[in-house]
Amino acid sequence: MDLDNNLKLSIVTITMNDPTNLDLTLASTVTSLTNNPDFEQIVVDGSPEANKMVLDKYRKLQNFVHIHDNPAGIYAALNAGITASQGEYVWLLNSGDCLLSENALNKAIELLDNIPGTDVLVCAVDRIRRGEYRYTCFPTDHFLKAIIGGCVTWIHQGMIYRRTLFDQVGLFDVSFKVSGDHEHHWRCYTQRKSFVVSHIRLAKFDSDGMSSVNYKLGYIEHRRVHRMYAPKLKIYIEIANELTRAFLYYRTAAIRWLKSTTIFPLIDPIMMKLKRLKSDR
């Protein structure tokens, strides 16, 4: 499609019957949209009426695009938003995900502009679970390091894509329910597209969403992706994934035990202080 040369960034948000989280997302991007007339916000909404009040609140913003559609699945909705986008770059920020700071977004765009030929910028994201900060996902400096390491740290909420990339490698594969972004990253990697990794903390993402909590389906679809793109590495990737799952399980169990003991009240204030220091950085 022909792009609007005057638009720098398209922010694509998909939502269905989720007005509270949609409001959180749009409230986090509204300042950037107001201060940057070359940004646009696209909302792909599959709700009949549930999001109407929230959408009416932001509809008057410049370059605000509302697509009322009922696509079959997450990736069909993302594809609809990407197809409608007019910006040089595309950022996929789902309902419930939030921009951390306008300054971070401006830094990310500046970095893209200063490194010609970059197809994807990969940034850090904060993981939020049940409304609380869990940890920051800092991307590894190479795609395969994250995969073989058993922990995917390249997360689409922290990735800004050059719009023409989707014309070159295609849109998301809608046959996937929760791992279409993982498959798309592999597709970009095998077609030797250019990735630049930064530790700019760009967003916080809601890990209560379907793709984060449906572990069994995610595991099945990840195995399918690995069979497609890396059959020789598949066994090593699966072993690493199992080791990571075991580590996370026992780490969670250890935290629960600490909370049940008298020592935890002494540790908790220290952990809270460390979190505040991280958020102030």
Give yes or no: residues 132 and 168 share one domain.
Answer: yes
Distance of alpha carbon 249 from its chain centroid, rounded?
Answer: 24
Q: What's the CATH number where 160 sits?
A: 3.90.550.10
Secondary structure letter of residue 140 according to DSSP: P
Give yes or no: residues 121 and 253 share one domain.
Answer: no
Pairing, β 195-206 against β 159-162:
unpaired
Secondary structure letter of residue 158 according to DSSP: G
Give yes or no: residues 155 and 28 share one domain.
Answer: yes
Give yes or no: residues 137 and 275 share one domain.
Answer: no
- Distance, in Å, from the CA atom of 236 to the CA atom of 217, rounded to the nearest integer, reads 20
- Distance, in Å, from the CA atom of 45 to the CA atom of 38, rounded to the nearest integer, reads 23
Read off the pLDDT of residues 230-250 as tens digits, 9 standing for 90 and up. Answer: 776 655 566 656 666 666 666
Give yes or no: residues 259 and 205 share one domain.
Answer: no
Residue 3 lies in a domain: no
**Can you tell me the mean pLDDT for 30-54?**
90
Neighbours of 29 (CB within 10 A): 22
Confidence (pLDDT) at 46: 87
Confidence (pLDDT) at 73: 86
The sign one gets for the Cα dihedral 113, 60, 74, 99 is: positive
Number of structural domains in the chain:
2
Domain residues for the domain of 250 are 234-281
Residue 240 lies in a domain: yes
Bridge partners for 136 per DSSP: 126
Residues whose CB falls within 8 Å of the CB of residue 75, separated by 6 or more in sequence, listed in order: 171, 172, 173, 174, 176, 180, 181
Give yes or no: residues 256 and 180 share one domain.
Answer: no
Helices vs. strands in the chain: H and E counts, helices first: 11, 9
- H or E element at residue 161: strand 159-162
| Portion of the chain with pLDDT greater than 90, in percent | 41
**Alpha carbon separation from 108 to 12, 64, 103, 198, 264 (Å, rounded):** 16, 21, 9, 8, 39
Neighbours of 268 (CB within 10 A): 12
Q: Which of 94-98, 148-152, 214-218 has the lowest mean pLDDT?
A: 148-152
**Residue with more model confidence, 241 or 129:** 129
Give yes or no: residues 32 and 161 share one domain.
Answer: yes
CB 190 within 8 A of CB 229: yes
Give yes or no: residues 179 and 151 share one domain.
Answer: yes
* Alpha-carbon dihedral 12, 181, 117, 205, rounded to 10 degrees: 50
Give yes or no: residues 100 and 222 share one domain.
Answer: yes
Residue 2 lies in a domain: no
Give yes or no: residues 161 and 260 share one domain.
Answer: no
- Distance, in Å, from the CA atom of 212 to the CA atom of 48, rounded to the nearest integer, reads 25
Residue 169 lies in a domain: yes
Confidence (pLDDT) at 172: 97
Residues whose CB falls within 8 Å of the CB of residue 63, separated by 6 or more in sequence, listed in order: 7, 33, 37, 39, 40, 41
- Tokens for 40, please give them: 């646009």
Residue 227 lies in a domain: yes
Residue 1 lies in a domain: no
Give yes or no: residues 90 and 137 share one domain.
Answer: yes
Residue 4 lies in a domain: no
Confidence (pLDDT) at 188: 94
- Tokens for 69, please give them: 């559609």
Give yes or no: residues 246 and 194 share one domain.
Answer: no
CB 123 within 8 A of CB 215: no
Going by pLDDT thresholds of 50, 70 and 90, the confidence category of residue 60 is: confident
Confidence (pLDDT) at 180: 92
Confidence (pLDDT) at 206: 80
Residue type, 94: N
Read off the pLDDT of residues 131-155 as tens digits, 9 standing for 90 and up. Answer: 888 888 888 888 877 666 545 678 8
Residue 67 lies in a domain: yes
Q: What is the 3-state secondary structure (H, E, C) of 183-250?
A: HHHHHHHHCCCCEEEEEEEEEEEECCCHHHHCHHHHHHHHHHHHHHHCCCCHHHHHHHHHHHHHHHHH
Bridge partners for 13 per DSSP: 43
Q: Which of 169-183, 220-234, 258-272 has the lowest mean pLDDT?
A: 258-272
**Residue with more model confidence, 184 or 238:** 184
**Can you tell me the mean pLDDT for 193-200?**
92
